[in-house]
C-alpha cells in the first residue's frame, strides 16, 4: 500500500474541537498531546482505538510491530514483534481482541488485548490492508491482493466470503444504517459500492476530478462521502445517493469536510464508536455520564434499551452513554433479542449479560429498572421503573417500539436537566 512519508519515532494525536453545524462558527483544531515512539523505525500505517481502556493500537509497518499506547499515560506500553508489514488494525470489543492485517503474507492475526497472546488468524492471498469491523454481524472486512474484499468471522477467524474488485482496494467505509460498503480503488479511478448482504458490487462511481484516491470518510447523516486525492491534493465530496460530486476543497462548504477527513485519519471518531465512551458534540470530548438499564436476567430488555439509547444519543450528538445490567444475569443474550438487534443494526453495549455492581451504581447518572434493585443500592441515585414495557423475548417489535418512545422522552429530559 502506497503511503506518504512519516517522520519516524513520532506520533501526533490531535484531539479535535469539532464545530456544531453552523457556518458562522469556525474553531481551529487544537493539538492536545504528542507521544514519542522511540523504538519505532520507518513509517507507520493504520490505527485503532479502545476508548474504554484508553489504548491506541498502531501498525508500525516499517518496524514490523504492533505498538500499544496508553493514552492516559502518554507512552508505549507494549510492542508485538515479528509481524510482516502490518497495515490494517481493528479492535473487536466482543472478542477482547485486536486484529492486525499483514501485507507481507496476507494473514489477519488476532491478539488478546490484555496479554497480547496470539489467538487466531484468517489467511488471505497477500497484501492484507485496510480492516473494518461490523459489530452487528460480528464480521471483519479486509481489503487484500490484486482486488478483493475478504470477509471473516471476528470471533472465530473463519473466512465466510469474498468480493472481487477491479484492483487493490484502499480505504473503505461501512454504512452503519445501511448495507453498503464504499471502496476507494485508485488504480481503477473509481469508488466501488458493495451491497454487503448480496456480497457483490452494485455500482461503480468514476473519480475523474483528481487521481490517487486513498483516504475516505463517510458522513451518513448528511449523505456525503469524502474522498482524499493526491494528484492534485484535493478532497472530493460525493452524494451517497447518486455518486455525483457535489463539492471539492477550496470552497467554504468543504471546511467541515477537511475536519471530518482529519478525524478519520487520526482514528479519533469516538462519537461514532458503538462501544465508545465519548461523543463529539461541538466541544472537546470527555467521559460520558452513564445511564444503567437493569432487568432481572440482563439478557433482553436492558440490552435492547441500552442499544437504542446509545444509537439515539450519538445521532443527537449527546454526551451520554448507556450500559445494560442484570440482577441475576443469564449466561448469554437472548437469541431472539440478538437477532432483532442485528436486523435493526443496533449494537449491544455488552457481549454477554453482566451483573449490576455497586461500582456501576456509584458512577450512574440515572438507573432505569424493569425489576427490583438490590437492597443496598445507593439511595442518592435517581431510579425509574419501566415495568410496563412488554418482555422483549415475547414480542421484540412491540417492546422495541415502546422503548424507543420512552427513551426519546428520556433523552429530551436529560438534555435539559443535570
CB burial readout 51-63, b (16+ within 10 A) else e: beeebbbbbbbbb
Residue 28 or 327, more confident: 327
For the stretch 110-139, pLDDT in tens is: 999 989 999 999 999 999 999 999 988 899
Q: How many CA atoms lie within 13 A of 383 on its CB side?
A: 18
31 belongs to a structural domain: yes
Asked if 265 and 294 sit in the same domain, the reply is no
Q: Is residue 283 part of a domain?
A: no
Q: Report yes or no on 170 lying in a domain.
A: yes
Closest C-alpha among 151, 149, 189, 152 to residue 169:
149
d(CA 5, CA 20): 33
More confident residue, 196 or 5: 196
329, 199: one domain: no
**Residue 32's pLDDT is what?**
77
The answer to whether residue 103 scores a pLDDT higher than 90 is yes
For strands 180-185 and 383-385, give the pairing: unpaired
Contacts of 144 (CB under 8 A, 6+ apart): 101, 106, 124, 125, 126, 127, 128, 129, 150, 168
The DSSP-derived string for 283-349 is S---PPPEEEEEESSSSSHHHHHHHHHHHHHHHTT-S-EEEEEESS--SS--HHHHHHHHHHT---S
Could you give the CA distance from residue 83 to residue 101 in angstroms, rounded to a whole number? 9
Cell readout for 177 is: 444504517
State whether 144 and 89 are in the same domain.
yes
pLDDT single digits (tens) 179-204: 999 999 999 999 999 999 999 999 99
Same domain as 160, residue 54:
yes
In the chain, helix, strand, coil percent, each to 5?
20, 35, 45
Assess whether 53 and 195 both reside in one domain: yes
| Backbone phi and psi for residue 210, each to the nearest 5 degrees, phi listed first | -165, 175
User: 252 and 313 in one domain?
Assistant: no
Q: How confident is the model at residue 276 (pLDDT cuts 50, 70, 90)?
A: very low
Number of helices and strands (H, E) in the chain? 5, 26
CATH number of the domain encompassing residue 351: 3.40.50.2300
Domain count, the chain: 2
**Within-domain flag for 98:** yes
The pLDDT value given to residue 266: 45
Give tens-digit pLDDT for 313-325: 877 878 788 899 9
Query: Is the full-model pTM beyond 0.85?
Result: no
Q: What is the pLDDT of residue 359?
A: 80
Structural domain of 235: 10-16+26-270
User: Do 316 and 239 belong together in one domain?
Assistant: no
pLDDT of 26 over the 70 cut: no
Amino acid at each position: 500500500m502506497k503511503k506518504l512519508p512519516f517522520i519516524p519515532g513520532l506520533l501526533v494525536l490531535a484531539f479535535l474541537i469539532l464545530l456544531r453545524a453552523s457556518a458562522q462558527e469556525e474553531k481551529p483544531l487544537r493539538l492536545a498531546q504528542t507521544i514519542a515512539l522511540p523504538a519505532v523505525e520507518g513509517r507507520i500505517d493504520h490505527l485503532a482505538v479502545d476508548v474504554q481502556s484508553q489504548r491506541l493500537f498502531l501498525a508500525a509497518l516499517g518496524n514490523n510491530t504492533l505498538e500499544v499506547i496508553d493514552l492516559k499515560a502518554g507512552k508505549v506500553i507494549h510492542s508485538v514483534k515479528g509481524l510482516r508489514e502490518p497495515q490494517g488494525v481493528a479492535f473487536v470489543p466482543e472478542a477482547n481482541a485486536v486484529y492486525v492485517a499483514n501485507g507481507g503474507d496476507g494473514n489477519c492475526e488476532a491478539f488478546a488485548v490484555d496479554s497480547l497472546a496470539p489467538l487466531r488468524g484468517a489467511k488471505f492471498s497477500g497484501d492484507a490492508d485496510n480492516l473494518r469491523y461490523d459489530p452487528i454481524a460480528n464480521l471483519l472486512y479486509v481489503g487484500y491482493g490484486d482486488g478483493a474484499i475478504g470477509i471473516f468471522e471476528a470471533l472465530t477467524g473463519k473466512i465466510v466470503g469474498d468480493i472481487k474488485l477491479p484492483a487493490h482496494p484502499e480505504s473503505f467505509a461501512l454504512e452503519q444504517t445501511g448495507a453498503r460498503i464504499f471502496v476507494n480503488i485508485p488504480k481503477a479511478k473509481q469508488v466501488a459500492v458493495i451491497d454487503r448482504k448480496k456480497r457483490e458490487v452494485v455500482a461503480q462511481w468514476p473519480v475523474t476530478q483528481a487521481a490517487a484516491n486513498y483516504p475516505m470518510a463517510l458522513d451518513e447523516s448528511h449523505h456525503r462521502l469524502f474522498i482524499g486525492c493526491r494528484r492534485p491534493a484535493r478532497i472530493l465530496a460525493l452524494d451517497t445517493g447518486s455518486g455525483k460530486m457535489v463539492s471539492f476543497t477550496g470552497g467554504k462548504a468543504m471546511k467541515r469536510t477537511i475536519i471530518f477527513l482529519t478525524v478519520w485519519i487520526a482514528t479519533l471518531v469516538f462519537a461514532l464508536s458503538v462501544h465508545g465512551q465519548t461523543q463529539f458534540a461541538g466541544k472537546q470530548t470527555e467521559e460520558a455520564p452513564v445511564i444503567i438499564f437493569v432487568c432481572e436476567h440482563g439478557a433482553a430488555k436492558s440490552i435492547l434499551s441500552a442499544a437504542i439509547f446509545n444509537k439515539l444519543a450519538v445521532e443527537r450528538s449527546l454526551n451520554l452513554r448507556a450500559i445494560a445490567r442484570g440482577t441475576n444475569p443469564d449466561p448469554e443474550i437472548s437469541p431472539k433479542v440478538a437477532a432483532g438487534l442485528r436486523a435493526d443494526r443496533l449494537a449491544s453495549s455488552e457481549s454477554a449479560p453482566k451483573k449490576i455492581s455497586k461500582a456501576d451504581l456509584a458512577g450512574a447518572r440515572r438507573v432505569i429498572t424493569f425489576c427490583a434493585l438490590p437492597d443496598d443500592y445507593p439511595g442518592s441515585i435517581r431510579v425509574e421503573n419501566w415495568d410496563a414495557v412488554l418482555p422483549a423475548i415475547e414480542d421484540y417489535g412491540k417492546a422495541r417500539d415502546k422503548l424507543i418512545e420512552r427513551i426519546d422522552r428520556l433523552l429530551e429530559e436529560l438534555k435539559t436537566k443535570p
